[in-house]
Structure 1
Amino acid sequence: MTSLKPEINPKNTEIEDQRTEGMSEDIQDTTLYRRRWYVLAVYCLYTFSQAGVWNTWGPIAESCKRAFGWDDTIIALLPNWGSDRVYSGGMVNLLEHGHTRTANIAAFLNALGGPVAMGAPPVLSAAWFPPNQRTTSTAIATISNYAGFAASFLIGPLFDSLAPKGQTNMSDSESVTLSSIDNHTVTLIQNTSDANNQGSQEITRIRHDVMLVMYGECGWCVLVMLLILFYFPSKPPTPPSKTASEGRIEIVSGLKQLMRSKMFLLISVIYGLPLGIVGLWGSVMSVTLEPHGVSEAQAGWIGFYSILAGCFGALFMARISDMFSKHMKQILILLFCLAFLCFLWFNLILIGIIPSSIAQIYISVITGTLWINATVPLLFEMACENTYPIAEGLTTVVLTTWLNVVGLIFLGVQMIPKIGTSWESWSILASISVCIPILCLMGDNYNRLKIDENFEKKTTPVQ
């Protein structure tokens, strides 16, 4: 195994000095390693892959209905498992027979990696990055998960070419033939046979292309696994900040404190409620928008651009938060207000108060998702700041568990027979409206940042 040993750069041995009152003098210097960007990049590939595999089926829901005989209940169940390893899911997907069973097994195995893929960014940031880069690092890791989610939406437009074009309409053909049955009985039999053959060929072609996607996912996930095995340390030899060098509260005690922390419980509601609903709604967007004349390909592009916009929004707002520290609460209020307006616009389009157009659906969903996803790194860091010295990993795992519970309930409701889909977009709006007053009334603490700001830092950049 290759070992990356630190090499001190003599040209730039000190980044920043800040005097500290009351700090012990025996505390070791902090060190920044350039390899932190490699570690971040490998983690980003992992979380990208987990999200992409998780959202495999939603963007091609209509094609899978034709090819495998699935219905909306099965399509909704598959991402419900997202509530061990990514490559395991890809490997099981390669089983070509028993499609429904193996798809669910693969979804379950992939879901086991969900807590690490969604909850580890603040842990990695605290272990490898200095205070003025933590939120940005968390944002990069977080948006990689959303980038994988967005990339999966490209599958839908690729499958759009499989939709039957110019296929004979059977009801019209039969009515014309029966009106002249004495002369055209043979024609009816031949048309029926041709239509059956065409349908069989269509199913074969869709199944073939689905298998190509499965092989591609498997190869990609194996590559990511090899990178992780090659070099992926949990922390650097020397910490990047004062708080990174300090111990954390043990898990059981930390969990009890989290459950008793009013601030953390409020942040859990703000994080899990809207993001759990919006994220899971995106995975079945093609089914939701179908009654409104939005094709599978169009829904795929809406999902892709929505998540892509959210990635840029999260990165931009995280950098703003790092530059203007201790203003997370104000930034979050602004983001949720903008998201509320966008999804209100979207719902008014769907019920016909605002004249409907595909352009307005595109813009309202994309901008609404942008503002919602931009809150993720800020909420992660806010939770870790408020709960310090509880371990960041424990804090974020509980947060993502709450998100998965919300998602489980949301998709579980979808499985109720004849429930429809019109309620889904209103649930997004309701969840956002709950968060805004909570944010306005809650406090804002920066326990971890205060310690780091008061610590005299001698940071040595190394490779």
Structure 2
Amino acid sequence: MDGAITFEETDRDQNASNQKEGFHVYRMRWFILTTLGILNISNALQWLSFAPVAYTTAGFYQTDLDTVNMLSVVYMITAIPCGFIATWLLDTFGLRGSIVMAAWLNFLGSAIRIVSAIDGISDDARIPLVFFGTVLAALAQPFMLFAPTKLAALWFPDDQRATANMLATMCNPLGIMLAYILSPLLAPGEEKMLFMLAIESIPGILAVLMATFGICSNRPPTPPSASAETASEPFLTGLKKLVKNPSYWLLAWAIGGGIALFSTLTTLLPQMLCPWGYDDNFTGVVCVSSLIGAGLVGAAIAGLVVDKTKRYMEVTKVCFAVASLTLIAFSIVHNRPDMWVGIAITCGLFGFFGLPVYPVGNELSVETTYPCGEATSSGMLFIFGQLQSIVLVISLSAIGSDIPEDKLVNSKCNTNSKYKVEVKDLAISTYVLTGYAILVMLVFVLVFRTKYRRLEAEKEHFEPIDLNSPTSKEPLVDDV
């Protein structure tokens, strides 16, 4: 399908400032970025729509908290085998087909989850239906999370790559924030579960229309940078090189650990806080909004900094270190009543420094492994993260202890459901999560080193061109 699209006029301002003769940027890149962003928002809504209302969900589907948590864990489990397939498809067949496939899987998954909540569906069928729909949506997640690095590399110039990657990637936590805000508001009781699922499916409908009818090419006719002009290595060749790259293994464990910390915290946060008097609205509207809202600001700043300075490694290490330290403060205050401000501040600080680790870490992985395919290097980071997420969510849920009813003076966990759901104390789990964060951070900060291979290759490819020189050619501006 390459070249089938009628592209809009190239970005004249960017091309005028681009001194790399023969390279172009197209405004279509912003439409593709917007489509991928909406898709990431929608998929994150599907992923964690039940976590903010875990006890309500358990009552509606007449099950326990472990089963509700599995609706999040299934994303992590599915991502491992599907992650390899998504990586191969992105690097072998290109961006368009992968995004369209992800959009349809996400849409179908959300539709089946709606069916699971319709009146008249038997109680025995509800759980299988909601899990089937969740699995379909989960199959889409690797495609849309691996695509930002590929999109940035193929469509954006070198001084916009980190920012583009950040914008697309941060739409995933933005979707999580919306889930934590919307779910408690849309489903304050079990009778509103169908309404919640229907409203939260709307971004998926928009994304599937934009992807199917708006994206018609894998790459632009003319590359935006020297590295985009060079074809990525085949998937298996790149994978073999990753296996032999010790720096990448350490990076994958560390950045994957950061992904796991975020996924585990956002999955279990309501269960960590509700026994001590913090309801779903405080957890979602205040805590998660602080975490992700501050994280979006931090990621925007980090993206601009690395685009200008190219200090991927230093920015990643500083952010990881400070984010890990904020978890210590959170673990101290989270199970104390009336610590509203302290909990909100620690969540905000964790987000501000923690969320930039993923998009900047993705760019760092490309620099560490170039010329391996961008989807291969960033995809393996995500798979490592999901492996750690599975272990953390399941193990931390398991070590939670039941709280006797006479000690649940401040609890905000129970619903009005006739179905009994036991309340758990996850304080020990929180301490274990914090300890793991400190371990990963120390090893990463003290040990990890790498060369910026992509930047070195681009420097060797050309010498700066003086546009004021009478012998130089101004970059072309085409309508294609």
Question: How big is each residue's C-alpha offset from its partner over 1:167-213, in whole Å with a ceiling of 9 and x where there is no partner?
Answer: xxxxxxxxxxxxxxxxxxxxxxxxxxxxxxxxxxxxxxx23x21112
Q: Distance in 1 between matches of 2:259 and 2:27?
A: 33
Matched, 1:328 2:312: yes
Partner residue in 1 for 2:194: 211
Return the offset for 1:438: 2.1
Matched, 1:427 2:432: yes
Q: Could you say if the C-alpha distance between residues 30 and 58 of structure 1 is closer, same or farther in structure 2, counting changes exceeding 3 Å?
A: same
Partner residue in 1 for 2:394: 412
Q: Distance in 2 between matches of 1:345 and 1:212?
A: 37
- Which residues of structure 2 form unaligned runs of 5+? 77-101, 402-424, 466-473
SS at match of 1:238: coil
TM-score scaled by length of structure 2: 0.79
CA contact (8 A) 1:156 1:297 kept: no
Matched, 1:65 2:65: no
CA contact (8 A) 1:8 1:460 kept: no
Q: Could you say if the C-alpha distance between residues 461 and 157 of structure 1 is closer, same or farther in structure 2, counting changes exceeding 3 Å?
A: farther
Question: How big is each residue's C-alpha offset from its partner over 1:71-92, in whole Å with a ceiling of 9 and x where there is no partner?
Answer: 2111110001111521011111
Question: How big is each residue's C-alpha offset from its partner over 1:344-387, in whole Å with a ceiling of 9 and x where there is no partner?
Answer: 111122466xx961110111122112211111111000000110
Give 1:16's match in structure 2, choosing from 2, 18, 42.
18
Question: How big is each residue's C-alpha offset from its partner over 1:118-147, in whole Å with a ceiling of 9 and x where there is no partner?
Answer: 221111000000111110110001111111
The residue type equivalent to 1:407 in the other structure is: S
SS at match of 2:430: helix
The residue type equivalent to 1:450 in the other structure is: E
CA contact (8 A) 2:400 2:428 kept: no
Partner residue in 1 for 2:367: 385
Partner residue in 2 for 1:130: 157
The residue type equivalent to 2:360 in the other structure is: L
Partner residue in 2 for 1:143: 170
The residue type equivalent to 1:428 in the other structure is: L
Matched, 1:278 2:298: no
CA contact (8 A) 1:136 1:319 kept: yes
CA contact (8 A) 1:73 1:414 kept: no
How do 1:58-97 and structure 2 match up within 5 A?
A: 58-83=51-76, 85-95=105-115, 96=118, 97=121
CA contact (8 A) 1:72 1:287 kept: no
CA contact (8 A) 2:24 2:476 kept: yes
Q: Distance in 2 between matches of 1:57 and 1:263?
A: 37
SS at match of 1:5: coil
Matched, 1:318 2:303: yes
Q: Could you say if the C-alpha distance between residues 3 and 415 of structure 1 is closer, same or farther in structure 2, counting changes exceeding 3 Å?
A: same
SS at match of 1:31: coil
Partner residue in 2 for 1:201: none
Partner residue in 1 for 2:40: 47
Partner residue in 1 for 2:143: 116
Aligned-pair identity (%):
20
Q: Could you say if the C-alpha distance between residues 363 and 461 of structure 1 is closer, same or farther in structure 2, counting changes exceeding 3 Å?
A: farther
Q: Distance in 2 between matches of 1:278 and 1:366?
A: 13
Q: Could you say if the C-alpha distance between residues 294 and 11 of structure 1 is closer, same or farther in structure 2, counting changes exceeding 3 Å?
A: closer
CA contact (8 A) 2:11 2:26 kept: no
Matched, 1:401 2:383: yes
Q: Distance in 2 between matches of 1:8 and 1:274?
A: 37
- Which residues of structure 1 form unaligned runs of 5+? 19-27, 163-205
The residue type equivalent to 2:426 in the other structure is: T
CA contact (8 A) 1:269 1:435 kept: no
Give 1:239's match in structure 2, choosing from 223, 232, 254.
223
Partner residue in 2 for 1:303: 288
Partner residue in 1 for 2:419: none
CA contact (8 A) 1:59 1:155 kept: no
Q: Distance in 2 between matches of 1:402 and 1:148?
A: 22
Q: Distance in 2 between matches of 1:366 and 1:9?
A: 36
The residue type equivalent to 1:432 in the other structure is: A
Partner residue in 2 for 1:107: 134
RMSD: 2.4
Q: Could you say if the C-alpha distance between residues 13 and 132 of structure 1 is closer, same or farther in structure 2, counting changes exceeding 3 Å?
A: closer
CA contact (8 A) 2:25 2:155 kept: yes
Return the offset for 1:224: 1.2
Q: Could you say if the C-alpha distance between residues 92 and 459 of structure 1 is closer, same or farther in structure 2, counting changes exceeding 3 Å?
A: farther
Q: Distance in 1 between matches of 2:15 and 2:320?
A: 42
Question: How big is each residue's C-alpha offset from its partner over 1:220-272, in whole Å with a ceiling of 9 and x where there is no partner?
Answer: 31221011011212211111011111122211121111112101111111111
Q: Distance in 2 between matches of 1:351 and 1:63?
A: 21
Q: Distance in 2 between matches of 1:423 and 1:15?
A: 55
SS at match of 1:154: helix
SS at match of 2:398: coil
SS at match of 2:220: coil
Give 2:211's match in structure 1, choosing from 228, 232, 253.
228
